[in-house]
Each structure stands twice: as C-alpha cells, then as structure tokens.
Amino acid sequence: MTVLDQSVLGVLLPGFTHHVDIGQEADATISYGAGGLARMVLPGKPPMAGEWYPLPDGYHVAWHGGPFGDWKIAHEVGRLTYIDPTGREAGTVTRIEPIRAWD
C-alpha cells in the first residue's frame, strides 16, 4: 500500500464526504469542508464536528469534545484504506461523494 501525500489528499478531501466501512452495520461518514471544517457520523452515534488540516502524508483532525490525531489514507489498486494514528487499518472507503449540505 502507498500512503497518499498532500497533493492527492488535496483533491480527495476538501468538499467531499467519504463513506468508510468500519466493520459495523453501516458505514461511517466523514465530510471534509473546504474551509477546514469536518463532520463525522459513526453508526449509532450522534454527529461529531471538528476541524481538519493537511499534513505532508495525511491530515490532522480534532473533534470538538472528542479525540484528535493524525490520520493517513493508503492506496492499493481498487482500494483506499484509512490508517489511524497508531498505524492500524481503520476502514475501507466504499464511496466518495460531494458534500451536499452541512446540517
């Protein structure tokens, strides 16, 4: 797997929502606003809001009232994988779509 760098993440993150299979009944959704705002919805949990910014080989996110950390996204043919701050695979992207609206 190849970790995506800032030039690729600059295209894949701002303005998009990622649906990520985290091994639960539904995908997690993570939205990356172009202005550095972020929103995440985990299955069965209330939405979380926070801020994100790019790093040379990933991005940093800090959730309001929640965790923060440096994440990476890795690529292999046909697969994008989220890598958590400990270096473990956290989920696989199932689809990417433009952000429709912030609630």
Express each pLDDT in 24-63 by its tens digit: 999 999 999 988 999 999 999 999 999 999 999 999 999 9
Spatial distance between the Cα atoms of 87 and 16, rounded to a whole number of angstroms: 23
Kindly state whether residue 71 falls inside one of the protein's structural domains.
yes
pLDDT digits (tens, 9 = 90+) for 59-71: 999 999 999 999 9
- Give the model's pLDDT for residue 36: 95
Are the CB atoms for 5 and 76 separated by under 8 Å? no
- Asked whether residue 20 is assigned to any structural domain, the reply reads yes
Q: How many structural domains does the chain have?
A: 1
3-class DSSP assignment, residue 64 = coil
Domain for residue 103, yes or no?
no
User: Can you give the CATH number for the domain in which 47 is found?
Assistant: 2.40.128.640
32, 13 Cβ separation under 8 angstroms: yes
